């Protein structure tokens, strides 16, 4: 993570690690200022905002490096004292801090305090390491709060993830990320157990009456039923039947398995295990969206409250789960969605807004989850903002003196690239050993966008101003709709990653304006140029630079052994 952040500013990550931190900070500031002063098309306000953003990025890097230096100094001390086991553990820890992704999944278990029973030398270095982590986590959290107050919520939430990377038991950071400390009543006297970090939903399930447990094979089930499940028995209408008999009955989708998780209800006739697996994948995706798109899901005031009063917030009432229907065969799926898509159009998955339900079927390649994440993007964003759009439709109807308020059509007149481009971007979402990420440069959507911008043989690019002005029908019915989807994918990658995400918050504000129309301005079309303060011509220029950077990254990756 540290090297990837630094590379954005200097392209010299190895030099960074060897420099004096104070000298490096001055160098970074000079470089950032020179870059800003040399960039055409920026107003004074734009340059000031980019400079402030660069200073927060610099602060983030500096905290990581200071912690790294402290760990390296402690490692050297242990080496001089001949504490070989300590040297090995500290070296591994330093490597983890340097290479862990900001999207890494933090440890679930609360860390045990340093034991008083340890030998004095081991207790001392462990306590010193804990002090370093606590101090730097506090510093990162303060920087995150400052970044939020300065108007950079996406960077602020990335820094909160850094806080948990540095100190996994930082209570406020965990709370901001939607987690709370939970102590299993059955393990209160277990000396090897200090608690777990769980969601409010999990705490409610485990403390319910009867208490439930989660099993990766069966999902959430009553704790008292686990033995019978493991014996191959399944509940059915007040009785217990064999696993084989249940599978036979549930082939009929009317008897589908129902797998409930925090945010989703999966109905499927594929298998219980397949439904549980899909549930887990969707929950990880939902968590990733919440953390990486916080500025969309909450207002500025709500985000401030999350930071300032994280430990004081009461658990909100759990929302109704989003419905997902997962069919065993394509024919079953086609029969269910045939009246929802135009005749002759084939789909691999569908989110049907009128029913607020997503539909999928079991593909031969079970590892291809792109369609799942594409449609889940539409469903999650739609479900989170339905009330606001209904209100906007009513207001618009009154202002235009319509007899009835029709449903609000997303991006009917402009900005349609936003909703489909983001869904295509989210197809690149990956889960590797529990860690989540999106935006891999060589993903097919971005790779094609790069080629169409840079390769004369397949060149296609519509300048930002006319492209952003396309509404739903103008986009979807255009003869170049396929190229439009590709360009929209590339543009969202640009918005999320250019200069370490400098446009991410502006893009989130545009996305929020699209999904949450302002009742006071329902007749106005949101403009990214107005939101960002950057001209369309400048965006075209920077998009080309971003595609060239992706090209360089892909070329460099291809040369690695």
pTM (global) more than 0.85: yes
- Give tens-digit pLDDT for 516-531: 999 999 889 999 999 9
pLDDT of residue 34: 40
Structure tokens at 214: 């989660």
- 459 exposure class (CB count in 10 Å sphere: 0-12, 13-18, 19+): exposed
Nearest 5 degrees, angle CA 389-CA 259-CA 385? Answer: 10
More confident residue, 103 or 250: 250
Nearest Cα to Cα of residue 125 among 91, 167, 160, 162: 91
pLDDT of residue 20: 44
Query: What's the pLDDT band for 407 if we cut at 50, 70, 90?
Result: confident
Q: CB–CB of 218/231 below 8 Å? A: no
More confident residue, 400 or 537: 537
SS3 204: helix
Place of tokens 């209570």: 171
pLDDT of residue 459: 98
Kindly tell me if the per-residue pLDDT of 9 is higher than 70: no
Nearest Cα to Cα of residue 31 among 49, 5, 58: 58
Residues 6+ apart with CB under 8 A from 483: 452, 460
Kindly tell me if the per-residue pLDDT of 97 is higher than 90: no
SS3 349: strand
Q: How far apart are CA 57 and CA 499, in angstroms?
A: 10
- The lowest-confidence range among 6-10, 167-171, 195-199 is 6-10
pLDDT of residue 72: 96
- Start-to-end Cα distance in the chain: 21
What value does the mean pLDDT of the chain take? 89
pLDDT of residue 185: 92
pLDDT of residue 130: 96
Assign 3-class secondary structure to 496-552. Answer: HHHHHCCCHHHHHHHHHHHHCCCHHHCCCCCCHHHHHCCCHHHHHHHHHHHHHHHHH
Kindly tell me if the per-residue pLDDT of 406 is higher than 90: no
Query: What's the pLDDT band for 15 if we cut at 50, 70, 90?
Result: very low
Q: How far apart are CA 19 and CA 366, in angstroms?
A: 47
Query: What's the pLDDT band for 473 if we cut at 50, 70, 90?
Result: very high
Q: What are phi and psi of 462, to 5 degrees?
A: -100, 125
- The lowest-confidence range among 90-104, 342-356, 370-384 is 90-104
Q: How far apart are CA 103 and CA 164, in angstroms?
A: 11
Kindly tell me if the per-residue pLDDT of 248 is higher than 70: yes
Kindly tell me if the per-residue pLDDT of 380 is higher than 80: yes
- Give tens-digit pLDDT for 250-298: 999 999 999 999 999 999 999 999 999 999 999 999 999 998 999 999 8
Does a cis peptide bond (omega within 30 degrees of 0) precede residue 392? no
Kindly tell me if the per-residue pLDDT of 364 is higher than 90: no
pLDDT of residue 102: 53
- Give tens-digit pLDDT for 336-359: 999 999 887 889 999 999 999 999
- Give tens-digit pLDDT for 16-65: 233 344 444 444 443 444 444 344 444 556 678 888 999 999 999 999 99
Q: How far apart are CA 426 and CA 377, in angstroms?
A: 7
Kindly tell me if the per-residue pLDDT of 12 is higher than 70: no
pLDDT of residue 159: 94
Query: What's the pLDDT band for 228 if we cut at 50, 70, 90?
Result: very high
More confident residue, 293 or 305: 293
pLDDT of residue 298: 85
Residues 6+ apart with CB under 8 A from 82: none
Q: CB–CB of 222/210 below 8 Å? A: yes
pLDDT of residue 113: 94
Please compute the mean of the pLDDT values over residues 180-203 and round it to a whole number: 94
Assign 3-class secondary structure to 361-393. Answer: ECCCCCCCCHHHHHHHHHHHHHHHHHHHHHHHH
Q: Measure Cα distances from 13 to 3, 9, 24 in Å.
A: 5, 9, 11
Kindly tell me if the per-residue pLDDT of 101 is higher than 70: no
Please compute the mean of the pLDDT values over residues 447-467 and round it to a whole number: 98
- Give tens-digit pLDDT for 128-177: 999 999 999 999 999 999 999 999 999 999 999 999 999 999 999 999 99
Q: How far apart are CA 515 and CA 422, in angstroms?
A: 13
Q: What are phi and psi of 175, to 5 degrees?
A: -65, -40
Kindly tell me if the per-residue pLDDT of 7 is higher than 60: no
More confident residue, 311 or 416: 416
Q: How far apart are CA 191 and CA 95, in angstroms?
A: 29
pLDDT of residue 18: 35
CA atoms lying within 13 Å on the CB side of residue 274: 20
pLDDT of residue 487: 98
pLDDT of residue 27: 42
């Amino acid at each position: 993570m540290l090297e990837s952040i630094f590379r954005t500013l200097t392209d010299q990550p190895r030099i960074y690690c060897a420099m004096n931190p104070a000298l490096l900070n001055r160098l970074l500031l000079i470089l950032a200022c020179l870059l800003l002063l040399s960039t055409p098309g920026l107003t004074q306000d734009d340059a000031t905002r980019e400079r402030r953003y660069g200073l927060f990025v610099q602060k983030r890097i500096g905290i990581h490096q200071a912690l790294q230096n402290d760990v390296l100094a402690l490692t050297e001390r242990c080496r001089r004292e001949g504490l070989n086991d300590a040297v090995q553990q500290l070296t591994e820890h330093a490597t983890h801090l340097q290479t862990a992704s900001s999207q890494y999944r933090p440890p679930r278990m609360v860390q045990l305090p340093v034991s008083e029973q340890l030998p004095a030398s081991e207790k001392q270095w462990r306590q010193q390491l804990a002090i370093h982590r606590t101090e730097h986590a506090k510093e990162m959290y303060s920087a995150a709060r400052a970044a939020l107050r300065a108007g950079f919520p996406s960077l602020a939430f990335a820094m909160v993830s850094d806080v948990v990377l540095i100190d996994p038991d930082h209570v406020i950071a965990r709370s901001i990320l939607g987690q709370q400390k939970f102590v299993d009543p059955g393990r209160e006297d277990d000396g090897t157990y200090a608690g777990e970090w769980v969601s409010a939903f999990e705490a409610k399930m485990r403390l319910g009456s009867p208490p439930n447990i989660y099993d990766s094979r069966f999902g959430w089930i009553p704790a008292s039923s686990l033995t019978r499940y493991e014996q191959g028995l399944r509940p059915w209408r007040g009785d217990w039947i064999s696993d084989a008999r249940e599978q036979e009955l549930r082939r009929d989708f009317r008897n589908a398995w129902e797998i409930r998780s925090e945010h989703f209800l999966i109905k499927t006739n594929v298998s219980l295990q397949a439904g549980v697996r899909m549930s887990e994948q969707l929950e990880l995706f939902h968590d990733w969206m919440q953390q990486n798109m916080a500025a969309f899901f909450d207002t500025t005031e709500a985000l401030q409250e999350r930071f300032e009063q994280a430990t004081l917030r009461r658990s909100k009432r759990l929302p109704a789960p989003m419905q997902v229907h997962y069919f065993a065969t394509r024919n079953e799926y086609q029969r269910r969605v045939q009246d929802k898509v135009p005749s002759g159009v084939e789909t691999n998955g569908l989110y049907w807004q009128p029913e607020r339900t997503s539909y999928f079927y079991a593909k031969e390649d079970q590892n291809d989850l792109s369609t799942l994440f594409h449609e889940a993007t539409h469903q999650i964003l739609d479900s989170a903002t339905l009330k606001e759009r209904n209100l906007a439709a009513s207001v618009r109807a009154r202002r235009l003196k319509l007899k009835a308020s029709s449903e609000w059509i997303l991006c009917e007149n402009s900005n349609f690239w936003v909703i489909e481009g983001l869904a295509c971007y989210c197809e690149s979402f990956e889960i590797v050993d529990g860690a989540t990420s999106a935006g891999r440069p060589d993903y097919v959507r971005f790779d094609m966008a790069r080629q169409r911008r840079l390769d004369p043989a397949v060149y296609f690019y519509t300048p930002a101003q006319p492209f952003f002005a396309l509404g739903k029908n103008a986009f979807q019915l255009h003869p170049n709709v396929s190229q439009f989807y590709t360009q929209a994918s590339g543009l969202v990658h640009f918005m999320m990653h250019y200069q370490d995400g400098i446009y991410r918050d502006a893009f989130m504000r545009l996305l929020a304006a699209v999904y949450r129309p302002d009742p006071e301005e329902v007749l106005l079309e949101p403009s990214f140029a107005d939101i960002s303060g950057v001209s369309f011509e400048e965006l075209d220029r920077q998009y080309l630079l971003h595609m060239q950077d992706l090209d360089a990254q892909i070329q460099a990756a291809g040369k690695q052994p």
